Chain A
Amino acid sequence: MQTLISQLQTRFQLSEFILQRDNLAFVTVTREQLRPLLLHLRDKEGFTHLVLLTAVDWIEDNIFQLTYLLGDRTAGCDIGVRLMLPRDVASMDSIHDLWPTAATYQRELREMFGIDFPESPRVDEDFILEGWTDLPPYRRDFDTLKYSQESYVDRLGRETKDPAAYMKLKLYPDEDNDG
């Protein structure tokens, strides 16, 4: 894996490299380099399996991290290609032509994070949420508790406990549980 990353660094501008395990590494690329890198990994290095495509919301830095995880099933190793997108211009080129199944991931990211993938098939169709008008719910600034309290009524007679406080009481009854 180390050798592969060294080779990639000579061809692509990788701004960050993390060797998580012997068979798992993460690299960060620019928007322009993403597609050439994915094509190179798929066609030249044997990373033919798109394991997943997902996003991480780093709201404090105002960026979305897109992670394209590719697997080489013969060599038994994976590489996570990370791309940082500005949160306020959340749009990325589609890769459904490289892996048809990417269209599903992109459709979900459009709905759950509000990250657009123009040209991706059915990207604007409702995927899981029908008629959703609020903030994309997997963004960090979407408050699930507030939404739930505003949208639903508590069941009559139902008592709730704060999960953290209750667990602390059960697991560590001898501790000072006031604080």
Chain B
Amino acid sequence: MADAEFGKADRSQYPHRRPDGSLDIDLTSGKYLKLWQGPNHPGITGNMSVELTVCGDEVVEGKTHVGYLHRGFEKLMERRTFIQCFPIVCRICVPEPDFNEYCYAAAVEELAGLEIPEKAKWIRALILEMGRINSYLMYLGGQAGAFGQGVIGQWTTYARDLMLDRFEELTGARIYHMFILPGGVRDDLPEGFDERMEQTLQEVERTLDDVYDTMFRNAVFKKRAVGLGYVDPALVDEYGITGPVARGAGVARDVRKDQPYLVYDQLDFEPVTGRESDVYARADVRRRDLLMSVDLIRQILSKMPHKGEVMATLPNVLHWKIPRGETYIRGECSRGEYGYYLVTDGSGYPRRVNVRGPSYTHAMALLEKLIVNVNISDVAGLMVSLHTYPPEIER
């Protein structure tokens, strides 16, 4: 193809496909180059890599590789009592571990027929929203960083650190909390928590104002993010897309609203949606969703009962046998639908635990589809916009 034609051609038709649907890429032709992005690369989302086939500076094929972080969590849990699984489940997702605790605890409670106190539900919702804010703050830093704006990550890390302080005073830990257990939560809110949380929320809002001015109104960020990584709304069901990636495409799916859990049916909110379905739209959905979480935390703290138990009476957890059964519990984490499929066999150990993280579909099938015809320099920005965490894939 002549150079002039090359630039004008419909790039989505390139490379050509063979009759069996595979891409017509002849690596011996000298036109293509294999390039690995990751596993050690500043533009990769965690411990994974993408095997790129490039033609010039255009990606013509991308294959996701995972396995650098596999610790066999699901298998390990089969050898542990139900309560012993808690130090494991939270480690499946570092930036937002609490969803693992909640989903697993709720699944155990359902199969064991355990009711939790009302106040515990409010505290669980509070923790999940705090975790969502932390996760979004990390994301914003990563998304801006992928396009060369390092300062945003410094600002959002500062705000996240303040929220980690709140986690620390509430749970005793900053990253892995192990605060949500079957039966409720480990403790009530400490004295004066509401006031300190309000100060933190105000600081988060101030930081987000700066982020909006510096990142979202920045010409370079717009130039690179607008139009990149378009997700057709028709793909949402086909590819199992959930969370901000779906909502950025205008599909108003939010488990908190669609299948309310904990106390979300008592809170006033609407799913945040976008329209353009590109990297910019997804970033903006997350920014606005973060602000909604700030509002939800204020609602939770004002509506939460002041008195009451936070933990139900549990049987002796070392001899706790749960009747045979199976269930699936889901929640809306910052990246989409997070769920636990738990199977019990009447013994004191889980028969099978399967974790459904949104990254499983977003970082594999969807990324491999979206990455074709993207410029090499935009791969990092595209990946981050799907907000993927590899440990969810290799549980």
Contact = CB atoms under 8 A, between A and B. Distances in A.
Contact of A128 (B66, B316, B341): B66
Given A51-B337, A101-B240, A76 B361 contact: no
A67 B341 contact: yes
Given A51-B339, A101-B365, A20 B240 contact: no
Interface in B209-232: none
B321 interface: no
B81 interface: yes
B356 A129 contact: no
B70 A54 contact: no
B343 interface: yes
B72 A69 contact: no
**Interface secondary structure of B, over-half rule:** mixed
**Interface secondary structure of A, over-half rule:** mixed
A78 B328 contact: yes
A37 interface: no
Interface string A98-119: 0111011000000000000000
Interface string B63-89: 000110010101110111101100000
Interface residues of B, number: 44
B258 interface: yes
Contact of A130 (B67, B240, B341): B67
B237 interface: yes
A164 B349 CA distance: 12
B358 to A, nearest CB: 11
Interface of B: 66-67, 70, 72, 74-76, 78-81, 83-84, 110, 237-240, 253, 258-259, 316-318, 325-328, 330, 337, 339, 341, 343, 351-352, 354, 356, 360-361, 364-366, 393-394
27 contacts: A18-B325, A20-B326, A20-B327, A23-B259, A51-B328, A51-B337, A51-B356, A52-B339, A55-B352, A56-B326, A56-B351, A67-B341, A69-B341, A76-B258, A100-B239, A101-B361, A103-B365, A104-B361, A104-B365, A127-B67, A128-B393, A137-B72, A144-B72, A163-B80, A168-B318, A171-B318, A172-B316
Interface of A: 18, 20-21, 23-24, 26, 48-52, 54-57, 67, 69, 73, 76, 78, 80, 99-101, 103-104, 126-130, 137-138, 140, 142, 144-145, 163-164, 167-168, 171-172
